Homo-oligomer: A and B are copies of this chain.
Amino acid sequence: MITVLVVDDDFMVARIHRGFVDRVDGFEVVGTANSGDQAVAALADLAPDLILLDLYLPDVFGLDLIARLRAVRPDVDILVITAAREAEAVRGAVRQGVVNYLLKPFGFEDLRIRLQEYARRRASVPDQVTSQADVDRVLAPTRQLVNRLPKGLSQETADLVAAALRATPDSLSAAECAEKIGISRVSARRYLEFYAAQGRTEVTLRYGTTGRPERRYTWRT
Interface residue ranges, A against B (CB under 8 Å): 67, 70-71, 74-75, 77, 85-87, 90-92, 94-98, 100-103, 106, 110, 125-136, 138-141, 143-147, 154-160, 162-163, 166, 181-184, 187, 203-205, 207-208, 213
Contact = CB atoms under 8 A, between A and B. Distances in A.
Given A139-B141, A162-B130, A183-B207, A75 B95 contact: yes
- From DSSP, what is the main secondary structure of chain A's interface residues? mixed
Contacts of A158: 131
Nearest to A204: B156
A141 B205 CA distance: 28
Given A136-B143, A159-B134, A129 B85 contact: yes
B96 A128 contact: no
Given A87-B125, A182-B208, A133 B147 contact: yes
B144 A132 contact: no
A163 to B, nearest CB: 5
Contacts of A145: 136
Contact of A143 (B139, B159, B163): B139
20 contacts: A67-B71, A87-B125, A90-B135, A90-B138, A91-B138, A94-B139, A95-B97, A96-B96, A100-B139, A101-B139, A130-B162, A130-B163, A131-B158, A131-B159, A139-B143, A140-B141, A140-B144, A154-B205, A184-B207, A187-B207
A187 B212 CA distance: 12
A150 to B, nearest CB: 11
A184 to B, nearest CB: 8
